[in-house]
Amino acid sequence: MKRRANSGLPVCRRPGDCALLDFKPGADVVVIAPVSGGRQVWTWGKSMKLYFAYGSNLCLKRFKEPSRVPSASFKCVVTLEGYRLVFWKRSTDGSGKATIVCDPDSNVVGALFSYEDKDHEQLKKAEAGYADGTVTISSPDGKQDVVTFICDTQKLDRTLQPYDWYLDLIRHGGRADTRPCRIRLYRISRSDSIRDPACPDSCLLIGQHSILPDF
């Protein structure tokens, strides 16, 4: 099998060969695959990311909105060991939003999603104030390195509290979008939240996010 000029990639020259023709990070992978009779056809395989969700992105229907990650799909419930869920990221509305901090005695239960590489930049824009990084989660398939978003610890404020509707969004997302493996989320209760003066009806806001009608 010869190699493509200037690329170092192999080129299929005879029946039975299967070769990578071209590749760009984040793009589709182009493969020539043999079929009966010595003919060859194009096969496209999408480059995917695995993502650990622990906050409001647990709500898959919200996460899949066109402005976020429309290609997302739920994989399984997973655990991130050595971290703790807190609500110390300051939001533009003045409330606390979820992030995770290192804590060797804690763990965070969340959802593992997959999505196409092409959606990652859009997700980064939606997750303003967070930085993407790699963490190691425990899944039914063992340890896996996956992407998640974490707020810089230097920007955290321990005095912040989340709004009640935001907690409801997380709690309901963990119950609804991971069925039948529902997440029992972090012992979160409304006593840990404050009322949003701009949104007196939390359940109405949940309905606007089209999570599930049986909330």
**Could you report the average pLDDT of every consecutive run of 10 residues in the chain (215 residues)?**
42 44 43 44 67 91 91 92 95 93 94 95 94 96 96 94 86 58 53 74 46 29
Q: Is position 213 within any domain?
A: no
Which domain covers residue 34, as residue numbers?
A: 2-45
Claim to verify: residue 20 and residue 81 sit in the same structural domain: no
Q: Is the same domain home to 8 and 89? A: no
pLDDT recorded at residue 208: 44
pTM score, whole prediction: 0.70
Residues 6+ apart with CB under 8 A from 182: 174, 175
| Pair 106, 12 in one domain | no
pLDDT at 175: 60
Which burial class, exposed, middle or buried, applies to 52 when counting CB atoms under 10 A from its CB (0-12, 13-18, 19+)?
A: buried
The reply to whether 34 falls in a domain is: yes
Q: Write down the pLDDT at residue 62.
A: 86
Separation between Cα atoms, residue 187 and residue 171, nearest integer Å: 10
Short-list 89, 84, 80, 20, CA closest to 50 = 80
Is 215 part of a structural domain of the chain? no
Q: What is the pLDDT of residue 9?
A: 40
Please give the tally of structural domains in the chain: 2
- Residues counted in the chain: 215
Please check whether residues 22 and 112 belong to one and the same domain: no
The amino acid at 189: S
18 plus 111 within the same structural domain: no
Please report whether residue 120 resides in a domain: yes
Q: Are residues 116 and 21 in the same domain?
A: no
The contacts of residue 80 (CB under 8 Å, 6+ apart) are 52, 54, 100, 107, 108, 109, 110, 135, 136, 137, 138, 148
In a domain, 74, yes or no: yes
